C-alpha cells in the first residue's frame, strides 16, 4: 500500500468539505460525534491543567510551611539546650577554692 498519495492528518482536515458530491449522512454524524468528543476531551484537559496548577500552588505553600517549621524546630532545640545548661549551672555545686 502506498501512503505517499494521502495528505497527513491535521485539524484542518476535519473542517474541510469533501471534494465533490453531497455529504454522506453517516459521515456527518460521525464527524459531529468526533467534534463533540474532541470538545469534551479539551474541556477535561483544561480542567486537568487547572487542577495541576492548583496542586502545584498548594505544594509550594506546603514546602514554605515545612521550611518555617524546620526553622522553628532548630530555634526551639537550641533554646531548650540553652535552658538545660542554665539550669545545670544553677544546680551545680559551687567550685571549691
pLDDT in tens, 62-88: 999 999 999 999 999 999 999 999 999
Report the distance separating Cα 5 and Cα 72, nearest Å.
70
pLDDT in tens, 24-69: 888 899 999 999 999 999 999 999 999 999 999 999 999 999 999 9
SS3 state of residue 2: coil
CB 35 within 8 A of CB 14: yes
Residues in contact with 36: Cβ distance below 8 Å, sequence separation at least 6, in sequence order: none
CB 51 within 8 A of CB 72: no
Look-up: residue for cell 487547572? Answer: 50
Amino acid at each position: 500500500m502506498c501512503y505517499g498519495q494521502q495528505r497527513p492528518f491535521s485539524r484542518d482536515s476535519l473542517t474541510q468539505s469533501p471534494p465533490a458530491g453531497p455529504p454522506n449522512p453517516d459521515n456527518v454524524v460521525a464527524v459531529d460525534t468526533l467534534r463533540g468528543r474532541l470538545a469534551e476531551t479539551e474541556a477535561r484537559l483544561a480542567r486537568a491543567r487547572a487542577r495541576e496548577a492548583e496542586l502545584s500552588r498548594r505544594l509550594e505553600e506546603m514546602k514554605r510551611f515545612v521550611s518555617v517549621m524546620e526553622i522553628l524546630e532548630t530555634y526551639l532545640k537550641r533554646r531548650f539546650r540553652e535552658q538545660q545548661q542554665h539550669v545545670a549551672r544553677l544546680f551545680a555545686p559551687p567550685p571549691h577554692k
